[in-house]
Amino acid sequence: MPPQHILLLALFLYLSFSFAKPLEQPFPVTRPEDVYGPPPPPSLWPVRSNKSCTAYSKSQPNPLAKQYFDRRITGTINGTLAVLPIPLSLARSIIPSKYTILTSAIQAELPDFPLDKYPCLFQASYYHDISSVLNPGSVPQTAVPDFSSASIEFPFVDLLGDNSTSFRWVPEILKTITASKIPAITEAREFGTDIHDAVFEPNCEAYHREPDSDYTTTFGRSVDLRVVGHMSADVYSRFKPLGSGPYHMRFWKNVTNQPSSANGRRCDEMVRLFNTSVSTGHYQPVEVNGQVNARLKTFKGEKVWEDVWGIRTDPSFVGNNPLDCESLRGYGART
């Protein structure tokens, strides 16, 4: 081989290996999507639902199915609740200016909570064994498929301007893709809440327990159905039991039983009961500590909370939605 050809070959091999060398990561990647991988195509989305998910789940059965014939829907909500503190000024900038924050109600429930902070409510929930009544007064006639949801909500909001009744303002929520076809769920759009069709890990449980660890995780990821692979929102949480937290059960009962809405006209009245067989005794709430990562339109990007406190719990619920928000005036005094 002529010398010039040898030189050209050597130069070719040198350039090939130089450019093929992968770039080293300057620091470990910790984003949830890098743990769970890129969004799968729709053909691979987990869609176990209806009877299969209800039978598969380890959540306890609904103890209210045959008791509340006069209510529209009952079931259980297994999952994690947590308080995510943010600056009060940030909360005021996010919540529509026509609604005020009932700071006196916050201080009454949480006297040690910093005055310049606001307690957002995180919920990562698995709705299980749901019974729906088509006509009030009749026996449950419709079995609603199990589904998961995740949200960051804004409690103690005065939607009615009465300086008294606390509501949860819920601008957006992630729900299992199959839940978007359920009439009881699609009604939530009447409240003005932006519902993201999502896939969850785990699929048919409230959370996944890490091997050889007390930590449990939940990951919900929304995918824009119009553009495969486009991620519009996601929520990731990781918690473990860790002694006693700063929030008492009276607070959790209060904040989760505030009616919710986003538009202030139509409301979701969901009464959570913490005194049934699925949330007492062996199944009583467990206080947990951990972190939440969220990428939501509400916060205009990604936000991370560490060392936050909450509870793992499985209350039963009775739902009466949708209702006119005005009909719930003075609601706190009735619960």
Instruction: Give buried/exposed letters for 250-277 (b at 16+ CB in 10 A, else e).
Output: ebbebbbbbbbbbebebbbbbbbbbebe
Whole-angstrom distance, CA of residue 131 vs CA of residue 177: 19
Contact 69, 137 (CB under 8 A): yes
Residue 237's nearest CA partner among 300, 163, 170, 289 is 289
Going from N- to C-terminal start, the domains of the chain cover 30-334
Whole-angstrom distance, CA of residue 149 vs CA of residue 154: 16
From start to end of the chain, where are the E strands?
73-87, 100-101, 117-132, 142-144, 147-158, 167-169, 172-176, 194-201, 208-209, 216-223, 231-241, 260-261, 266-267, 270-273, 286-296, 301-313, 316-319, 323-324
**pLDDT tens per residue across all 335 residues of the chain:** 565 555 555 555 554 444 433 333 332 333 444 544 444 443 333 333 444 576 667 788 888 877 765 556 888 999 999 999 999 999 999 999 999 999 999 999 999 999 999 999 999 999 988 877 655 555 555 567 888 999 999 999 999 999 999 999 999 999 887 655 555 555 667 899 988 888 888 888 898 888 888 999 998 888 655 444 555 788 999 999 988 899 999 999 999 999 999 999 999 998 999 998 888 888 899 999 999 999 999 998 889 999 999 999 999 998 877 899 999 998 864 44
Stated pTM of the model: 0.81
Residue 126's nearest CA partner among 237, 36, 251 is 237
User: Which tokens in the block code for residue 53?
Assistant: 């998910």
Fold of 30-334: Acetoacetate decarboxylase-like (2.40.400)
